[in-house]
Structure 1
């Protein structure tokens, strides 16, 4: 399916002009229409072409969000929420023009309830800012997608990351939300109680909706105690299959690993070159353990024994914070390290997730596919929960290369779905994955369409995402 088929939406020129005029009077210089800033708010860190909004409004309060949504609803003009712009599937593009609603100035930590292990934040707070704020409380927020993303955006895309195997995803760590709905009403989806049987789970409905059902204005999040001790390190393996088998054994033995990340041989080469490391250029696992001083040592030793059974090792681990920080900084820089393998090229970055029993098979078939088609594509993965990413490097001016990369992603998506997995473990759907939902969800897609139509009959909330326009 060509990308253009997913994003062609007719513009409402009259409505857009009316909304821009009204916003200029209400927001003054907090409405920006210059091309450079509009390009920034359609920016994608992938190859997907940017589609610019007609104006950008910098919201500073929930009332600002409500005012913008009400204006857009009255004139049937698209409104697209924007956090930090780190999403990967064209989520912030404006295929029908309209208003980009920048929430970065809504960046206050409203409350921290240390006794209850929760906090409430505005959507523009980033995960790093929150953990800096929490530093003196002995608590932290564990979801770490790599980029310093906004928490509103992380909820909207149902993000996870390196810590998901231990702490879960955003779905598991958001207690409740406040959101402005398409008609301008403000909805609170729940209270601070850790569980509830009161009606439909509106919180989970909005988590992962990518701004297509409402715009999040406040989040109440679970917090965790900072571990007494942390150990981590790197272990090389003779093959991806051996590394995956070690992951499966680790999970099945119940070792409470906090992070367990796979880097392919090509990925290790890129990390060594980019981050000035000297690890073996073979498949490696990066691991981290959280707990007591004795507990993290025991967990590391147990993993070392498992690795040895599959031909891996030695497992080089440490409790020294500076060494662990260097290791995980390199892991988080994997995207930029991968780009450096083909300077000047763009990245088609994609992810899938399968049951861990099928992980080795899925990655093995994917590596064979990459080799057969001559692609340059390092693999990294949050393999403790069966999730892995492929960074396909393409010449953005070469349509044949882009077509070959898109065909590869299509095969990868269908391979994961055939293994009872998903076409996206954490990137979200956006524009890039929309065509595969029918294969994964079948009639469930009709239910999603019915919910979208009921809540947003004029299709103003981030149109062209998740559900292709032709399916609305």
Structure 2
């Protein structure tokens, strides 16, 4: 018997047979793809419409029952873990493309639609949503964590591509923010209040998204470098040249070793850049030649990527990075983390972090979206070895502190959740208290995904 039984009784009356209480279903919704301990909700509700979400939230609010939104469960920092129990509202069945306007290059979707499914539906229009993350995530979840991925260097993050939202507030009220106009000076920017809020201020149920045209040509390049410094220097120079760069991905030698083992490839096990250029055929060819020259001047070995099949293989390798990294120590846990710094600070933070990991004997392949200064470590450890786990957590803390000290952030795209809460004061100062003021104003009972981002 949980302390929220009266809420579940009312929910069962409102949605007969749809409030799931079985342990297997609760376990599926009690953890994301992270190292944080699972925390199961007391019940799960598979919502189908905005109105159903609003009704369920109103009933929970009436009984003081915590609410945790759930999309695909691919989050890294424990955003879906129900640390106080309560009701998990699964939004994955709300997966429709509601409207598309090719002339205006925008669309409106339900929150549970994935980016892959959206781009499949948009293919005939010649448009796509230029967000390319490794996970199979829902668009509502991506907005809630301000996701970005490999194309950020050209197209920005979800914060740049969301034009408006439908949100259910903690009292069950439905609000619509933003709109389809390309700009507005009307009132507070409520849309961006909810983007990155990780479900702590409300539940996103619909999104209006800015789209872009599928480029005429896209070509890739793959380059092995003698050092991380040489690779990052090439990135800085390429950005200053204003090339038509769509993606610039860096993998360290250990990450390449992991990818070779996982994919049965034979890339040189050196720091490696994967580059994607997009635009007109002539522009792409000219700019790739320029990038080749810059890379060669910094000591790179060039690997031809000549065909569409080769192009697809290159990006399939990149998207296997997380699973390949975990394969270096089968059966071990991974603390997957990310930070983001100004691009010019990448050589310093990567060198200092590499030296720290080597000194601690920690296996942690690195890959990242270095065109925007964002990189990831997959820090592997034996969960049964308390000393090793403590060393990994301490090294992780030093990584985040290093990033903040260099003018960066504790997380470029994974979000805060449970794992990065302790670093927000150092990064935001008095701004953290303002976040808490906003949270208390919108959710005075602290029912909406409580305990995430910060504690009240």
Residue 69 of structure 2 aligns to a residue whose secondary structure is strand
Deviation of the 1:72 alpha carbon: 1.0
Deviation of the 1:315 alpha carbon: 4.8
For the 8 Å contact 2:244–2:283, the answer to whether it is kept is no
For the 8 Å contact 1:307–1:315, the answer to whether it is kept is no
Partner Cα separation in structure 1 for residue 23 and residue 317 of structure 2: 34
**TM-score in terms of structure 1 length:** 0.95
> What does 1:258-269 align with in structure 2 at a 5 Å threshold?
258-269=246-257
Q: Residue 416 of structure 1 aligns with which residue?
A: 403
Deviation of the 1:317 alpha carbon: 3.0
Partner Cα separation in structure 2 for residue 443 and residue 143 of structure 1: 32
**Poorly superposed stretches of 4+, deviation over 3 Å:** none
Q: Residue 124 of structure 2 aligns with which residue?
A: 136
Among 94, 98, 106, which residue is 2:86 paired with? 98
For the 8 Å contact 1:120–1:219, the answer to whether it is kept is yes
Deviation of the 1:316 alpha carbon: 2.6
Does 2:266 align with 1:278? yes
For the 8 Å contact 2:107–2:209, the answer to whether it is kept is yes
For the 8 Å contact 1:90–1:431, the answer to whether it is kept is yes
Q: Residue 25 of structure 1 aligns with which residue?
A: 13
Among 22, 44, 54, which residue is 1:56 paired with? 44
Range that drifts further, 433-442 or 294-303: 294-303
Q: Residue 227 of structure 1 aligns with which residue?
A: 215
Partner Cα separation in structure 1 for residue 386 and residue 168 of structure 2: 40
Deviation of the 1:43 alpha carbon: 2.1
Partner Cα separation in structure 2 for residue 350 and residue 225 of structure 1: 32
Residue 103 of structure 2 aligns to a residue whose secondary structure is helix
Range that drifts further, 31-40 or 263-272: 31-40
Deviation of the 1:203 alpha carbon: 0.5
Does 2:370 align with 1:383? yes
Partner Cα separation in structure 2 for residue 233 and residue 50 of structure 1: 40
Partner Cα separation in structure 2 for residue 70 and residue 316 of structure 1: 58
Deviation of the 1:86 alpha carbon: 0.4
Does 2:290 align with 1:302? yes
Aligned length: 456
Residue 344 of structure 1 aligns to a residue whose secondary structure is coil
Q: Residue 447 of structure 1 aligns with which residue?
A: 434
Partner Cα separation in structure 2 for residue 198 and residue 290 of structure 1: 35
Deviation of the 1:176 alpha carbon: 0.6
Among 339, 343, 356, which residue is 2:326 paired with? 339
Deviation of the 1:19 alpha carbon: 1.3
Deviation of the 1:430 alpha carbon: 0.1
CA RMSD of aligned residues (A): 1.0
Deviations 1:43-77 (A, max 9, x none): 22221100000000000000110011101111111
Partner Cα separation in structure 1 for residue 200 and residue 385 of structure 2: 32
Partner Cα separation in structure 2 for residue 424 and residue 204 of structure 1: 17
Partner Cα separation in structure 1 for residue 203 and residue 340 of structure 2: 27
Range that drifts further, 391-400 or 351-360: 391-400
For the 8 Å contact 1:58–1:104, the answer to whether it is kept is yes
Q: Residue 172 of structure 1 aligns with which residue?
A: 160
Range that drifts further, 98-107 or 290-299: 290-299
For the 8 Å contact 1:47–1:396, the answer to whether it is kept is no
Deviation of the 1:13 alpha carbon: 4.2
Residue 341 of structure 1 aligns to a residue whose secondary structure is coil
Partner Cα separation in structure 1 for residue 32 and residue 114 of structure 2: 18
Q: Residue 110 of structure 2 aligns with which residue?
A: 122
Partner Cα separation in structure 1 for residue 384 and residue 83 of structure 2: 21
Q: Residue 425 of structure 2 aligns with which residue?
A: 438
**TM-score in terms of structure 2 length:** 0.99
Partner Cα separation in structure 1 for residue 11 and residue 313 of structure 2: 46
Residue 144 of structure 1 aligns to a residue whose secondary structure is coil
Partner Cα separation in structure 1 for residue 17 and residue 355 of structure 2: 53
Structure 2 residues without counterparts, runs of 5 or longer: none
Q: Residue 213 of structure 1 aligns with which residue?
A: 201
Deviations 1:237-271 (A, max 9, x none): 00111111111111111112000000000000011
Partner Cα separation in structure 1 for residue 42 and residue 279 of structure 2: 50
Among 111, 118, 131, which residue is 2:99 paired with? 111
Partner Cα separation in structure 2 for residue 244 and residue 133 of structure 1: 37
Deviations 1:304-335 (A, max 9, x none): 111112111225333x2221111111111111
Partner Cα separation in structure 1 for residue 2 and residue 38 of structure 2: 19
For the 8 Å contact 1:304–1:313, the answer to whether it is kept is no
> What does 1:143-222 align with in structure 2 at a 5 Å threshold?
143-222=131-210
Among 67, 75, 86, which residue is 2:63 paired with? 75
For the 8 Å contact 2:66–2:85, the answer to whether it is kept is yes
